[in-house]
Structure 1
Amino acid sequence: MANMPKVNAEFGATPSISFDGEAPAGLKVVELVEGDGPMVRRGDTVTVNYHGVVWGKTDPFDSSFARHQPVSFGIGVGQVIKGWDQTVPGHNVGSRLVVSIPPEYGYGSRGVPQAGIGGGDTLVFVIDIISTR
């Protein structure tokens, strides 16, 4: 897919991300590894490992991989940013996704300055879907 970052396609491995060029327009998701577990549905509680970077940067602003602690939350119900709610449902447990999230699907024009996220920044997340219920 045009301009998506290169990410290692190994479920469970700490993500390495490299960028080439400008962020794509709009919300984009690529399934790097297709899992064979149950499909995530809106309203499920999903458990994931994730690694988030601002487009073009190397250091993550947040990474559950770095903490060795997966996180769980309701998906598709407004508990997380819109970019997650719209891309994670429909993928199976065991999948590794790379998601490019423009500001309007992320933290908006305010960004999250304390995390180093500017209002115009595109965010990239690598998401490993561990379980859903």
Structure 2
Amino acid sequence: MRNSAKLMVVVAAALTLGACANSEQASTQPPGSNQQPSIAPAGPNTGVPGPGSVTALPEQPAGPECTVDQIEVTGEVGKQPEIKLPDGCAAPTKLLTKDLEPGEGTAATAGSAIEANYLLLTWSNKQVADNSYEKGKPLALTLGAQQVIPGWEQGLEGIYQGGRRLIVVPPDLAYGKQLGHPLQKETLAFVVDAVKVAPGTN
């Protein structure tokens, strides 16, 4: 009986350690993979809600919505940008895009293989939530394959290799349907550099 009890303790401990190891491994996965970190441009069919409950957002200004031209982006293409979000206007409720650098070659369409670096700011607190530049490896995705949030699927259409684009994504095109996700109610501001764009097959 005592041996059985000891065996159960050992098995429970092993399961706990295994769960911790899997959690740590998942957090190192690049955005767009099947094992998503809590803040990644994951598609609705592949994204895993992040741990914890959704925190209340700071009170947002009322009045007219901010425009894409009110957002300031500085820095060279290919290097980590800086984003300054405006004050005194409401978060956009529609997808906004603006090309900051045109790029060249073939425009991205459904089926295009894209490699992209990005910096993500959350609108409510103007904080960096994710940054691929620091990871040293761009995100690889196929446009239209639902590997990323809908705001990216739509926002990256027409981007050219070498181009830089500002994309503002409202909650309904980001994590609004992922109950319990830390960014469920957030408007997201991305600056995306298209490192590589291969022609689509569709």
TM-score bin, normalised by smaller chain: 0.7 to 0.9
Instruction: Tell me how large the CA RMSD over aligned residues is.
Output: 1.8
The aligned residue for residue 196 of structure 2 is 131
Query: d(CA) in 1 for partners of 2:91 and 2:71?
Result: 9
Q: CA deviation at 1:58?
A: 4.1
The aligned residue for residue 71 of structure 2 is 5
Q: Is the 8 A contact 1:76 1:89 kept in 2?
A: no
The answer for unaligned runs of 5 or more in structure 2 is 1-65
Q: CA deviation at 1:56?
A: 4.3
Give the structure with higher Rg (CA): 2
Per chain length, whose mean CA-contact separation is higher, i.e. which structure has more relative contact order (CA < 8 Å, sep 6+)?
1
Query: d(CA) in 2 for partners of 1:36 and 1:86?
Result: 19
Which of 93, 112, 119 is residue 181 of structure 2 equivalent to? 112
The aligned residue for residue 47 of structure 1 is 115
Query: d(CA) in 2 for partners of 1:74 and 1:85?
Result: 9
Query: How many residues are paired up?
Result: 129
Q: Runs ≥4 in structure 1, deviation > 6 angstroms?
A: none
Query: d(CA) in 1 for partners of 2:110 and 2:166?
Result: 19
Query: d(CA) in 2 for partners of 1:12 and 1:84?
Result: 19
Query: Letter of the aligned partner of 1:98 in structure 2?
Result: L
**CA distance 1:44–1:120, shift in 2 (3 Å):** same
Matched, 1:18 2:71: no
The answer for unaligned runs of 5 or more in structure 1 is none
Query: d(CA) in 2 for partners of 1:111 and 1:93?
Result: 35
**CA distance 1:111–1:35, shift in 2 (3 Å):** farther
Identity, % of aligned positions: 30
TM-score, length-scaled by structure 2? 0.59
- Measured against aligned partners, the alpha-carbon deviations of 1:8-62 in whole angstroms (never above 9, x if no partner) come to 1521121101111332220000111110132111111100001111114343211
Larger % of strand: which?
1
Query: d(CA) in 2 for partners of 1:132 and 1:18?
Result: 27
